[in-house]
Amino acid sequence: MEMLEGLNEAQKAAAGQVEGPMMVVAGAGSGKTRVLTHRIAHLIDQGVDPFSILSLTFTNKAAREMKERIGRIVGDSEARNIWMGTFHSVFARILRIESERINYPSNFTIYDTQDSRSVLKDVIKGLGLDDKLYKPNSIHNRISGAKNNLLGPADYAQNPDITGEDHQAGRPRISEVYAGYDARLKRSGAMDFDDLLFKTNVLLRDFPDLLHKYQQKFGFILVDEYQDTNFAQYMIIRQLGAARENVCVVGDDAQSIYSFRGANIQNILNFKRDYPDCVVYKLEQNYRSTKNIVEAANTVIAKNQDQIQKDVWTGNDEGEKIDVHRALSDNDEGSFVADAIMTTRSRQQADNKDFAILYRTNAQSRAFEEQLRKRNVPYRIYGGLSFYQRKEIKDLISYFRLVANPTDDEGFKRVVNYPARGIGKTTLDRLTVAASHHDCALWEVVSDPLRKPDDLKGAAWGKLQDFATMIEGFATKLESATAFDLGHHIAQHTGLLRELHKDKTPEGVARYENVEELLAGMKEFSDQIDPANPDAVNTMADFLVDVALLTDADQDDGDDNKVSMMTIHAAKGLEFPHVYIVGLEENLFPSQMALNTREELEEERRLFYVALTRAEKKATLSYALTRYRWGQLMQNEPSRFIEEVDERYLNLPKVDARRSEPFDFNSARNSFYKPMPSGRKTAGSAPAASTPPRPGMRKVQEGGAPAAPAAAAGEVQPGTEVKHARFGKGKVLKLEGNPPNVKATVFFPSAGQKQLLLKFAKLEIIK
């Protein structure tokens, strides 16, 4: 049992089971990666062939780190033979092996979101549809949801519930767009990200011999982050694991936060139903955070009904209480956080990388960016424009893709006239019409004289032939050259490097340096040696697969000593000594769009739980009394999640930002939280949803000095005509709340409907 040394008793029990279905419910910071690592090492030690182990992780980075850990225990040669990676990377590998069964080339291109939406834009235009109504982004999300639920174009068109929703939304032809999009991908020899799971399910469904083959191959299946699996992923595991049921899933229902991507928390909640003989292990000791943070998080997540009961605890120090900061505005909040980081960094000799700012939406980053820049504090935003989405990088990679798969229409269109070679829009339009007429890829028109459009003049056709000859020349090196050698050759001989080098502006120099960085990464990739096959060449095709499956979490800009800024969704799986959870306001966090059902609110609460449990030593919560949203200055209530944290774990605001008297928590709690009436609208915003009840509500006082209103609160009634210093004349529609926190809904002809706290509003009554 030496493979299990160093584990606690709960971890040891989970890692030590060999046969049969099992579920490891792993609380935040409880060492689930250690359990997965040691369980795989233990399986190998017990004689299990590494080739028969399928281990599915959340990111490619996590897979690499796990392989390295396993290699240190059982040896690199054994670790390298494990089928380990994300769902998408592992099943892309299988699809390349079996692609002929579904009439795809083995060198199929994997389209990213930008490519997919570009194809959709063309399809929507080709069908003569209004792209303001049939927005490519929205349609892409719709199709993605269908694929994640294993609905192909025909299934989609025949489903009355789905098509009924489309008709109701005024977009009855989405099924046609889906069919056209699917046909275009097939024609280009391309799959989008969702296809990697969808097509795998097609293989397992339509070819029983392949299902049997992989059931026998993968004798042991391990799935990390099982709470985040969608229906397509669930079905792959169910089918592959059906023969032996040696299925081990690891996850935490309390951290299920990706329903917008199709993740279904019921997959983990119902695991025992799917596998009645399964053994459940609970990892409840948190090694990451202080007692104060762990217990505070527990008090919040306890409010959820849909969960697997567990008692997360820690042997760590008590730690500091969680600070709650009340800011006057979003800019004030940004200033507070930036100053707090600088102060803590100085007092505790901390590094920039020890700090994280977590927010609900990317749009909130602005105030924090501005304040950090003013103080010369380096920061990194996760989830922004990734390295591989930058134009110069995408241009060069499009060349690589076209060389590997000439039928890739998106790659062809991107580079056929870059750098400029006299192939203009008119030529490309005529080529596109011919490709549509012959139902083939653009490349197939160029490479077949019989498909040459009649209206394409000799000079333009000659330039296309020169381009095709260049690409074919590159393709002769695909199998023999390393990814770096061929990549560098392409960058030089297309003229792309020369084109970038001509631009001496700071932006131009940065673009050139980015391409140099890409080539440096390709060199590193090419120099990697597989001990099992030291003579193997890491080709361009290998590199393209690696790049296509990267996520934001897999990328690193080399300099990690920066403050991290990201959405809470992007923070999952990460940890930091100091965490600032910002924008904790009703209708922002929890999101206004997540207040329709208990299930939606519970996911928002899980999101807050994830944010809080990222913190190791110190967590700080903040909210702003006013914030511009949708172009309107909004007055905000503190988030219900602040009041759901047991008060004994909090440092509440001691002094009002503009006043000297102490913060009176008890008097403030009595009248603040009130459910928002269903259907109430705020000017400039979407309709507010009906707010589910809030058990055990506690009040958090709003800050700012209440100015004596020109009109006494009792004088203002529904129907009263009033004047506001900023919005002008208006009429009071209704009043809510109790003194001194009476809120008026007022309609102003010049500004629309507004909600104002009377104690701040300075309304004048018009006699």
Residue with tokens 């591989």: 388
**Taking Cα atoms as reference points, which of 57, 55, 25 lies closest to residue 41?**
55
Residue with tokens 């100085």: 346
Q: Which amino acid is at 336?
A: F
**Taking Cα atoms as reference points, which of 192, 619, 232, 188 lies closest to residue 407?**
188
Cis peptide before 136 (omega within 30 of 0): no
Note whether 708 and 690 are within 8 A (CB). Answer: no
Distance of alpha carbon 392 from alpha carbon 503, whole angstroms: 12
Q: Which amino acid is at 393?
A: I
- Cα separations in angstroms, 540 against 468, 482, 661: 19, 7, 68
**Taking Cα atoms as reference points, which of 67, 68, 74 lies closest to residue 90?**
67
Distance of alpha carbon 641 from alpha carbon 623, whole angstroms: 11
Note whether 66 and 55 are within 8 A (CB). Answer: yes
Note whether 431 and 464 are within 8 A (CB). Answer: yes
Distance of alpha carbon 225 from alpha carbon 154, whole angstroms: 32
Distance of alpha carbon 464 from alpha carbon 478, whole angstroms: 22
| 96: annotated active-site residue | no
**Chain-centroid distance, C-alpha 652:** 32
Task: Write down the catalytic residue from 59, 109, 200, 255.
Answer: 255
Q: Which two structure tokens, joined as six digits, stand for 105?
A: 């080339």
In sequence order, the 6+-apart residues with CB closer than 8 A to the CB of 309 are: none
Cis peptide before 740 (omega within 30 of 0): yes
Task: Give alpha helix (H) positions in 169-279.
Answer: 174-187, 195-206, 208-217, 231-241, 266-269, 271-274
Burial of 667 (0-12, 13-18, 19+ CB in 10 A): exposed
Q: What is the DSSP letter of 419?
A: S
**Taking Cα atoms as reference points, which of 554, 528, 555, 550 lies closest to residue 539?**
528
In SS3 terms, 592-627 reads as HHHCCCHHHHHHHHHHHHHHHCCEEEEEEEEEEEEE
Note whether 415 and 494 are within 8 A (CB). Answer: yes
Q: Name the β-bridge partners of 109.
A: 190
| 505: annotated active-site residue | no
Q: Which amino acid is at 141?
A: N
Helix (H, G, I), strand (E, B) or coil at 529: coil
| First CA to last CA distance, the chain | 87
Helix (H, G, I), strand (E, B) or coil at 190: strand
Task: Give alpha helix (H) positions in 527-597.
Answer: 540-548, 568-571
Cis peptide before 590 (omega within 30 of 0): yes
CA 598, 603, 605, 606: dihedral to nearest 10 degrees?
140
Distance of alpha carbon 115 from alpha carbon 121, whole angstroms: 10
Task: Write down the catalytic residue from 12, 17, 33, 187.
Answer: 33
Distance of alpha carbon 300 from alpha carbon 643, whole angstroms: 9
In SS3 terms, 437-462 reads as HHCCCHHHHHCCHHHCCCCCCHHHHH
Angle between helices 195-206 and 87-98 (to 10 degrees): 50
**Taking Cα atoms as reference points, which of 765, 755, 108 lies closest to residue 401?**
108
Task: Write down the catalytic residue from 69, 614, 617, 627.
Answer: 614
| 225: annotated active-site residue | yes
Task: Write down the catalytic residue from 112, 122, 224, 408.
Answer: 224
Distance of alpha carbon 588 from alpha carbon 414, whole angstroms: 39
| 614: annotated active-site residue | yes
Task: Write down the catalytic residue from 32, 147, 321, 754.
Answer: 32
Task: Write down the catalytic residue from 182, 225, 295, 602.
Answer: 225
Active centre residues (catalytic):
32-33, 224-225, 255, 614
